[in-house]
Structure 1
């Protein structure tokens, strides 16, 4: 009888400890974000020349579309003209207006206004976060390719505390391994990346890629670039090119690089293509093509998320653009109107 009671005590203790352990594990899990904008994606709409841009928000299941989401939550705040892009940290979204040289900071899940940063920019383009600082590229004057710079923003004060000269075009920017990687190309004019040490805020090196650089992607501590003449895979420890594929003139002008699911996605003309990262065969047949009447707005925005392909069509830039979502078989899953000049997708 004592032996049975002892075994019962051990069994009860084991169950109790297991239950406590499970509770601890549950309580230590990262909380699921809440807010009206927690389960979906934003579309950046540039807006008309001299007018105000906007944000559209679409639920992940496509059940709800909110136009002018920023204004809906912040009717007294100025989003600015010509919205270029947004970037995130864990809780915040930074909305770049390069027509008004300002950044609005909001909660990424509720769009509650936090701060306005309206000094220290000159045609800001893209941003990234590293060690509680934001780094934003600036095109500066349109007549020069050597006056571009990176604004360094203190995220405690929301003030630009320094600028880093790039001495080259400064467009897309990523942060990895304590370094800032700046794409030295705008409108496919360029063929290099600048590597900046974030601690010293000094340029460390230049990585040359193919001419006509148009896309840069950071994934799993690797940088991928797509040019009119070359695809490159770059090691971010040595910043050397691990693999590259050169294109011939007959292959067309590949653009809009995305890397996901072990695949490289890209566009040419009005068609979407992919190749596997393991073989990098850029002579595959198109996944699908889409019909558009837009002379300059074809694939104005492009993204791949959860095996779905997102396309923003700019239309005639005098009327609202269109969002289309396809699966990899080319089946249209969803279509809706966006704002004027939809140029990018940002997934929450």
Structure 2
């Protein structure tokens, strides 16, 4: 999770000198519609405090109901773990990564009924994806190295760790495409490449350079889009080569949070949101809107776009509960509500 990695790095560095979405597409439209209290809505991952547990919040899609601590509500005898980083899904399950506790809680994605906890083999797990009934989870490993990161392979029939895949680079965001794994080799804007890994052989097949300060990547329209501090790159997923590079103008350097929704590209700068067509990218466009915040470091701690609605989480001071804001594409506020401490991401059921 972001805050844990950042603060841990600062703490470790200080010590040394003194002496670190949308997943609803996994539902099969031919299967009967799922039932449960958490079908029609989205989850917010809240990292939680040092020395304590994180949490999940849930919001109905029509914003009629906001429920806090839903994991604990449904599983009062289970511990979600500290520093909840992210979640990922398959058709029926949700996998909740807590990297302060090096574990994953597995629950039913629609009822949150507890299924299993996987608590061995991880070392600062970050993100995961399911492919052929196996989970592939990135791990940042040691804070003093960028070449020791690895992917844990979990058998989802037994919930046992089968093996590790060495990445030989930073391993952060991960996606599955055409039976392969696409791994972002950058965390906290430290890194400049993306790897294509064959899970069947555990081989790194290709590595493509996409610009220093890589902060986000998105798979869309059979292409990989990556955003760095000063450039956007398009990568053909067939050849895994860069097909187009767009230089960010000086006045827009530092753009972040690349997202794509309905052929529109969205990104952020400062406390503002920008958008233009995926086919006519222009980083000189005027902002869509700005949102008001007093936070110095929690601005856009989470960001998502779905069905032309823009979802923003603000972590505030990281000492008290954060907030989420949902806007229309015209900048009209649709929802503003308090959630848990350190809200860092949205996941749509």
Common topology (TM > 0.5): yes
Q: How does 1:1-348 map to 2 (within 5 A)?
A: 29-348=30-349
Using the alignment, how far apart are the partners of 1:139 and 1:249 within structure 2?
Answer: 31
Q: Which moved more, 1:131-140 or 1:222-231?
A: 222-231
- The match for 2:7 is none
Q: What's the secondary structure of 2:170's corresponding residue?
A: coil
Deviations 1:132-185 (A, max 9, x none): 110000000100001000000000010111001111111000110111111011
Give the Å deviation of 1:261. 1.1
- The match for 1:24 is none
Q: Are the equivalent residues in 1 in contact too, given 2:172–2:186 (CA < 8 A)?
A: yes
Using structure 1 for the length normalisation, give the TM-score: 0.91
Using the alignment, how far apart are the partners of 1:272 and 1:188 within structure 2?
Answer: 19
- The match for 2:25 is none
Q: Are the equivalent residues in 2 in contact too, given 1:177–1:237 (CA < 8 A)?
A: no
- The match for 1:9 is none
Q: Are the equivalent residues in 2 in contact too, given 1:196–1:204 (CA < 8 A)?
A: yes
Using structure 2 for the length normalisation, give the TM-score: 0.91
Using the alignment, how far apart are the partners of 1:171 and 1:50 within structure 2?
Answer: 24
Compared CA separation, residues 196 and 29, structure 1 to 2 (3 A)? closer
Q: Which has the higher contact order (CA 8 A, sep 6+)?
A: 2
Q: Are the equivalent residues in 1 in contact too, given 2:249–2:284 (CA < 8 A)?
A: no
Q: Which moved more, 1:228-237 or 1:187-196?
A: 228-237
Give the Å deviation of 1:246. 1.1
Unpaired runs of 5+ in structure 2? 1-28
Give the Å deviation of 1:55. 0.2
- The match for 1:7 is none
Q: Which moved more, 1:228-237 or 1:245-254?
A: 245-254
Q: Are the equivalent residues in 1 in contact too, given 2:85–2:99 (CA < 8 A)?
A: yes
Deviations 1:105-141 (A, max 9, x none): 0000000001100001000000001111100000001
Q: Are the equivalent residues in 2 in contact too, given 1:195–1:203 (CA < 8 A)?
A: yes
Q: Are the equivalent residues in 2 in contact too, given 1:177–1:236 (CA < 8 A)?
A: no
User: Which portions of structure 1, spanning 4 or more consecutive aligned residues, are displaced by more than 3 angstroms?
Assistant: none
Q: Are the equivalent residues in 1 in contact too, given 2:249–2:283 (CA < 8 A)?
A: no
Deviations 1:92-114 (A, max 9, x none): 00000000000000000000001
Q: Are the equivalent residues in 1 in contact too, given 2:84–2:99 (CA < 8 A)?
A: yes
Structure of higher CA gyration radius:
1
Using the alignment, how far apart are the partners of 2:201 and 2:311 within structure 1?
Answer: 38
Give the Å deviation of 1:221. 3.1
Unpaired runs of 5+ in structure 1? 1-27
Deviations 1:22-58 (A, max 9, x none): xxxxxx9431111000000000000001210000000
Using the alignment, how far apart are the partners of 2:116 and 2:222 within structure 1?
Answer: 31
Give the Å deviation of 1:241. 1.6
Give the Å deviation of 1:247. 1.5
Q: Are the equivalent residues in 2 in contact too, given 1:171–1:185 (CA < 8 A)?
A: yes
Give the Å deviation of 1:215. 0.3
Q: What's the secondary structure of 1:250's corresponding residue?
A: helix
RMSD of Structure 2 on Structure 1 (CA): 1.0
Q: What's the secondary structure of 1:72's corresponding residue?
A: helix
Q: What's the secondary structure of 1:213's corresponding residue?
A: coil
Q: What's the secondary structure of 1:71's corresponding residue?
A: helix
Give the Å deviation of 1:219. 2.4
Q: What's the secondary structure of 2:72's corresponding residue?
A: helix
